[in-house]
């Protein structure tokens, strides 16, 4: 599949619609992935892990022309994966409940995050104090109380997409990443480390891949002009 410059493809999949047997999925995994799979006690969790890895491998194969089993991963700082044989192809995977998404782009680091709007958040004010800037929290508090949790999750998803793109993970204080709570075609990243100029190198966008699921992508490319959603049909992660 062709991937144009300045374009992000976002593949989405409803995992519970897949009917592939665990034994069939395991055949595609590498040794380290099978070791990780074995650490799950419940078969349901094993299947979910294997489906996500198969989804990732088959998606990458669309661009590289490889069979899913031949895709080779390595891991950089903080465990961020990259492709040994195709370093130009950047990608990131996220999943929540039965939903998964993969963002793919050329040459520029990319991150994606999903979150269910039904996720329970206990002690919102304490969590917000750890994750949000003062201005973000003030904007959320000005919203109707019934929508505050959803607004918090909206902001959190955008921040998570950013730190997944950078590979910083938990080493980055989320309060140093300020995002907009609006939904628009403009980048939703407001500032980094208090600097709007630093944020100009990035684009952060929201999307809604499934009902009641929030999505966000972040890409280090200020020239991105196309974000294309690519829904996968049920039962296709092994057949295509």
- List pLDDT tens digits, range 182-238: 887 688 999 999 999 999 999 999 999 999 999 999 999 988 988 999 988 765 555
**Gap between the Cα atoms of 93 and 106, Å rounded:** 15
- List pLDDT tens digits, range 18-65: 777 888 889 999 999 999 999 999 999 999 999 999 999 999 999 999
3-state secondary structure of 171: helix
pTM of the predicted structure, to 2 decimals: 0.93
Least Cα distance to 112 among 75, 169, 165 occurs for: 165
- Percent of the chain scoring above 90 in pLDDT: 78
Residues 53, 238 contacting (CB under 8 angstroms): no
**Tokens for 84?**
């040994």
Angle between helices 134-141 and 124-131 (to 10 degrees): 150
Domains of the chain: 8-231 (3.90.470.20)
């Amino acid at each position: 599949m062709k991937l144009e410059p300045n374009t992000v493809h976002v593949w989405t999949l409803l995992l519970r619609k897949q009917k592939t047997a665990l034994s069939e999925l395991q055949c595609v995994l590498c040794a380290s992935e099978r070791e990780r799979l074995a650490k799950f006690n419940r078969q349901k969790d094993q299947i979910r892990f294997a489906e996500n890895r198969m989804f990732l491998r088959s998606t990458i194969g669309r661009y590289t022309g490889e069979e899913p089993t031949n895709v080779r991963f390595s891991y950089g700082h903080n465990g961020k994966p990259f492709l040994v044989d195709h370093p130009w192809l950047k990608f990131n995977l996220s999943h929540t409940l039965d939903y998964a998404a993969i963002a793919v782009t050329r040459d520029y680091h990319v991150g994606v995050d999903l979150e269910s709007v039904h996720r329970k958040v206990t002690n919102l004010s304490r969590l917000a104090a750890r994750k949000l800037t003062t201005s973000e929290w003030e904007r959320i508090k000005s919203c109707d109380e019934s929508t505050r949790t959803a607004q918090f999750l909206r902001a959190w998803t955008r921040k998570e997409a950013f730190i997944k793109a950078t590979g910083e993970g938990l080493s980055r204080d989320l309060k140093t990443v300020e995002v907009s709570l609006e939904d628009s075609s403009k980048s939703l990243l407001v500032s980094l480390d208090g600097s709007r100029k630093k944020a100009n190198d990035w684009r952060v966008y929201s999307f809604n891949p499934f009902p009641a699921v929030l999505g966000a992508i972040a890409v280090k490319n200020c020239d991105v002009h196309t974000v294309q959603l690519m829904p996968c049909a049920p039962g296709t992660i092994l057949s295509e």
